[in-house]
Amino acid sequence: MRKFAPVGRVVLVFWLVSFAASAQAHSTVKGVGDFYAGMLHVLTGLEHLLPFIALSLLAGQRGMKTQAEAVLLVFPLALMVGAAAALWIPPIHGLMFFNMASAILLGGLVAAAWPLPAAVFYGLVVVFGISHGVANGEAISGSIKAYLFILGIGLAGLAVLAYGTLMVDFLLKRQTGWIKIAVRVAGSWIAAIGVLALATAGKTMLGS
């Protein structure tokens, strides 16, 4: 079975990268209501979902008794603040690339398992929360109830972050050595997928 493991990893990477085109511009989902459209706009964009998963792993590594619990409040709030700000500021060129780069940075930090100072950790949470919030908020048009869409964005961020954080925290408390390694490997995969997705998106934009 082990000889098939590298093949499975390659298939997983290319399967995820196949969604990179959607990272450029994914429209709101029609017919589901503005609240659920806000949630789905986050969950269907690789440039958002990938960094959110990486952040949840990073928070889980810190443990629920440190800063992880507060992140479950800070990150969704930062998302909603950013989404609300998008209603007042002009579109930011290159924001998608910045957000995808956040997956590379956060995934790399998970893989390195460095004990980041609380100020640095929360700085990343706030900055990336606002940047991803702005990117999602740019999808709000005149026909969308902004407050519902923004609430959906915040809840989607909370759901992904809470699920990953709680799962990683629970698994790491089992005191099994290979689990720590598995989490770090997952972070390295996220960083690698982020690099491939960023390169693919950039190539597509240059070729269009």
Separation CA 8–CA 156 (nearest Å)? 29
Token pair recorded at residue 121: 């950790």
Instruction: Establish if 163 belongs to a structural domain.
Output: yes
Reduce the DSSP state of residue 208 to 3 states and report it.
coil
User: Does residue 207 register a pLDDT over 80?
Assistant: no
Report pLDDT for 12.
44
Indicate whether 90 belongs to any domain.
yes
Identify the domain containing residue 94 by its residue range: 31-207
**Confidence band, pLDDT 50/70/90 cuts, at residue 176:** confident
User: What pTM value is reported for the model?
Assistant: 0.82
Indicate whether 81 belongs to any domain.
yes
| 66 band by pLDDT with thresholds 50, 70 and 90 | low
Q: Is residue 121 part of a domain?
A: yes
Are 80 and 151 in contact, with CB atoms under 8 Å apart?
Answer: yes
Reference 38, options 155, 160, 163, 158; nearest CA is 155
The answer to whether residue 4 is domain-embedded is no
Give how many domains the chain has, as a whole number. 1
* Identity of the residue numbered 15: W
Domain-embedded: residue 17: no
Percent composition of the chain: helix, strand, coil (DSSP 3-state, to 5): 75, 0, 25
pLDDT greater at residue 17 or residue 132? 132
For residue 162, being part of any structural domain is answered with: yes
The reported pLDDT for the residue numbered 31 is 55
| Torsion sign, CA atoms 85, 87, 93, 97 | positive
- pLDDT band, very low/low/confident/very high, at 6 (cuts 50, 70, 90): very low
Q: Which segments within 64-113 are labelled E, that is strand?
A: none
